[in-house]
Amino acid sequence: MSKTVDEKNRCVTVGVIGAPGSGKSTMLIGLVKKLLATQNRVVVVDPDGAEEAWDETPASFKRYDDIEDVPDNFKGVVIVPYSAKEEHGTPTFPHIQSKMDKRLNNSEYGPWTNIAIVLDDTNSYARGVLEPSLEWLLMRKRQYGSHVIVTGHSYGEIAPMILRLTTLYIIGVTDGSPTERSDTIKGDRLKRHVAVCNAINAIRKKNPKEYPWAIITAEGYPFKGQL
């Protein structure tokens, strides 16, 4: 996912799909470490703050109880809880928007442009209709030079609008099926996604100690680039 200022059109939304026990957290942390090599600031939304894997990381990963406490000049990875209501902490996505959108920063881009955003377990807060600030982040990622990574245990746990904007998929073992989102993934594209999931699950069935992953495009073809 390397990117320069002139390559903002390459910003992507990556959908990571893997059931509990598929190795999703380990794979995701490895992906975040790769991001740090080229895009040295990452915000992770951990919906309930209960994902212990984020605490078993280097010092460059720092957890905050409230997103408002994250300094504008942060480096490395910050992990914040999800909050929709002000009485439970700073509303997460409106705060991120305020730190990126030039309309809210005296016509200047905000201090959090060119960050990567990881939305862990999106079914906890974005399974149906997306809140406006999250929709904005997904729609405007290219303009603000940001990659977005969303995760779910199955296709059905990721909102249709997110899947419509997803550029790449990283698929692991999952109990679900792409047919759960046949309203969004259709025709031959759906058949290719199903074939990839079946192949991954077949590897695990043959060897329960395997943690297979496949990277595919939105159309369901093998991804031949470099993350």
Q: pTM to 2 decimals?
A: 0.90
171 in a structural domain: no
51 in a structural domain: yes
Q: Which domain holds residue 96?
A: 5-165
The yes-or-no verdict on residue 91 having pLDDT over 50 is yes
pLDDT band at 85 (very low <50, low <70, confident <90, very high): confident
87 in a structural domain: yes
The yes-or-no verdict on residue 2 having pLDDT over 90 is no
Contact partners, residue 98, CB within 8 Å, separation at least 6: 104, 105, 110
Instruction: Look up residue 110 and give its DSSP letter.
Output: -
Cα–Cα distance, 38 to 4 (Å, whole number): 9
What is the domain count for the chain? 1
CATH number at residue 146: 3.40.50.300
Distances (CA, A) of 84 to 12, 40, 54, 89, 219: 25, 27, 21, 8, 33
Q: What are the tens digits of pLDDT across the range 17-66?
A: 999 989 998 899 889 988 888 778 999 999 876 667 777 667 778 999 99
What average pLDDT score do residues 127-154 get? Answer: 92
182 in a structural domain: no
185 in a structural domain: no
Instruction: Look up residue 106 and give its DSSP letter.
Output: T
The string of DSSP letters for 30-90 reads HHHHHHHHHS-EEEEEETTS--GGGGSS-TTEEE-SSGGGS-TT--EEEEEE--SSGGGSS
What is the average pLDDT score of the chain? Answer: 88
pLDDT band at 135 (very low <50, low <70, confident <90, very high): very high
Distances (CA, A) of 68 to 72, 94, 131: 10, 11, 19
196 in a structural domain: no
30 in a structural domain: yes
181 in a structural domain: no
pLDDT band at 87 (very low <50, low <70, confident <90, very high): low
